[in-house]
Amino acid sequence: MYNKVVTRFAPSPTGFMHIGGVRTALFAWLWARKNNGVFILRIEDTDKEREVKGSIEHIIKSLKWLGLNWDEGPDVGGPHKPYLQSERLDSYKKYAQILIDKGFAYPDPYTKEELDAFRKKADEERRPFLYRDHRPKEFGVWDGTKALRFKTPEIKIYHWNDAVRGALSAGVEALDDFILIKSDGYPTYNFAHIVDDQEMKVTHIIRADEFISSTPKFLSLYEALGITPPVFVTLPPILADGGNKKLSKRDGAKDILEYGEEGYLPEAVMNFLALLGWNPGTEKEIFTVKELLKVFEINRIQVSGAQVNLEKLDWMNKEHMKKLPAEEMQKNIFSYLPKEFQNEKLVPIIFERISKWSDVKVMLEAGELDCFSVVKQPKYDKIKLVYKNSSPERITKNIKLVIKALEKLSENDFTMENVKSTLMLIAEMEGNRGEVLHPVRYALSGLDKSPDPFIIASIIGKNETLSRLQKAL
RNA sequence: GGCCCUAUCGUCUAACGGUUAGGACACCGGGUUUUCAAUCCGAUAAUCAGGGUUCGAUUCCCUGUAGGGUCACCA
Q: Is any atom of strand B within 7 angstroms of residue A405's beta carbon? A: no
Q: Residue A451: which nucleotide is closest by CA–C1'?
A: B35
Query: Residue A208 CA to B52 C1' — how many Å?
Result: 35
CATH second-level architecture of A377-472? Orthogonal Bundle (1.10)
The shares of helix, strand and coil residues in chain A, as percent rounded to the nearest 5, are: 50, 10, 40
Q: A25 or A386: whose pLDDT is higher?
A: A25
How many percent of chain A have pLDDT more than 70? 95
pLDDT above 50: residue A72: yes
At A324-349, the pLDDT tens digits run 887 887 787 788 877 877 877 777 77
Give the bridge partners for A43, in sequence order.
Answer: A84
pLDDT confidence of A95, banded at 50, 70, 90? Answer: very high
Choose, from A112, A137, A249, A388, the residue flagged as catalytic.
A249
For A97-117, give one letter per residue: b (16+ CB within 10 A) or e: eebbeeebbbbbebeeeeeee
Give the bridge partners for A6, in sequence order.
Answer: A38
Q: Is any atom of strand B within 7 angstroms of residue A119's beta carbon? A: yes
At A166-201, the pLDDT tens digits run 999 999 999 999 999 999 999 999 999 999 999 999
Contacts of A143 (CB under 8 A, 6+ apart): A107
For strand B, which residues in window 249-278 of chain A come within 7 Å by CB? 275-277
The residue that minimises its CA distance to C1' of B37 is: A356
The ipTM (two decimal places) reads 0.94
User: Which of A45-59, A400-414, A433-447 ranks highest by mean pLDDT?
Assistant: A45-59
Query: Residue A211 CA to B4 C1' — how many Å?
Result: 10
Peptide bond into A82 cis (omega under 30): yes
Report the mean per-residue pLDDT for chain A.
Answer: 89
Residue range A432-460: mean pLDDT, rounded: 87
Q: Is any atom of strand B within 7 angstroms of residue A118's beta carbon? A: no
Gap between the Cα atoms of A283 and A304, Å rounded: 19
- Supply the pLDDT for residue A207: 97
For A229-240, give one letter per residue: b (16+ CB within 10 A) or e: bbbbbbbbebee
A112 belongs to the catalytic site: no
Q: Which runs of consecutive H residues, i.e. helices, occur in A386-415? A: 392-407
At A279-327, the pLDDT tens digits run 999 999 999 999 999 999 999 999 999 899 888 999 999 899 888 887 8
pLDDT confidence of A378, banded at 50, 70, 90? Answer: confident
Q: Is any atom of strand B within 7 angstroms of residue A245's beta carbon? A: yes
pLDDT above 80: residue A389: no
Q: What are the boundaries of each domain within chain A?
A: 377-472
Q: Residue A278: which nucleotide is closest by CA–C1'?
A: B13
Q: Residue A355: which nucleotide is closest by CA–C1'?
A: B38
pLDDT confidence of A247, banded at 50, 70, 90? Answer: very low
Compute φ and ψ for A167, nearest 5 degrees. -75, 130
How far, in Å, are A319, A336, A407 from residue A63 at the CA level? 22, 22, 55
